Structure 1
Amino acid sequence: MADNKNESYLPVPWEYREVVEEEISKRSRGKIFFFDANNQVAEAKGSVTRIEEKKSEGVFVVLDTGSEIRIDRIITLFGKIGAAYNEYDAYANACLDCLGGYEKEDL
């Protein structure tokens, strides 16, 4: 299951790739939360076996279950912040930016 083929891959800072490589070396198992092909929050369970670069598609983590998740769409990896966390956090807090139908003077 390769995710987000319709969206352009966004290169991620090296520290996110380092987190993945560290979890591979520790053979960690757990949950990965990510944005799927429909831009909905999804989850996968297992351990990451490798990082794979696919031309014109992006960089993916490959799980022991065979699932593939694009690294730039990972929200959390075994509880650690992923490259898409800020996007998720901004989406989750979107309502906090509004005034709930009130004018600023009324608050």
Structure 2
Amino acid sequence: MKTLAKYLPVNPDFYDVMDLLLHREVRVIYFGVDQILEESNGSFKGIDKKDHGEFMEIVNDKNVRLDRIITINGKIGPAYDAYEAYANACLSCQAGYDD
């Protein structure tokens, strides 16, 4: 079953970053449905506020939920900490090996 996590509030400082990118080309890496990493590229049109969250509108590509953004043009986004934990999860396991 495809699920998307509950919307989490975004740090207000992140909106300043978004303002600087308005009408510019962006490359966004984000968590999609079921925590799958996805990418969206295009011109940043603005932010669309809906009942189930705020979305970055990208011309000619997918809109991206703000709280799921890992990076925009290489800059850290609101979901970066979740990504770092996700990426490092295997480092704590023993990959099937015993001590």
TM-score band w.r.t. shorter chain = 0.7 to 0.9
Q: How far off is 1:99 after superposition? A: 4.9
Instruction: Confirm or deny: 8 A CA contact 2:40 2:61 kept in the other structure.
Output: no
2:17 is aligned to 19
1:28 is aligned to 24
Match of 2:33 among 37, 47, 57: 37
Question: C-alpha root-mean-square deviation of aligned residues, in Å?
Answer: 2.0
How many residue pairs get aligned? The number is 97
1:51 is aligned to 47
For structure 2, the 5+ residue unaligned runs are: none
Between the two proteins, what is the percent identity of the paired residues?
35
2:7 is aligned to 9
Counterpart code for 2:54: V
**Normalising by structure 1, what TM-score?**
0.79
Runs of 4+ off more than 3 Å: 98-103
User: Residues 34-82 of structure 1, C-alpha deviation per residue, up to 9 Å, x if partnerless?
Assistant: 0112210000111211011102x10110011152110000010111111
**Normalising by structure 2, what TM-score?**
0.84
For structure 1, the 5+ residue unaligned runs are: none
Name the larger-Rg structure.
1
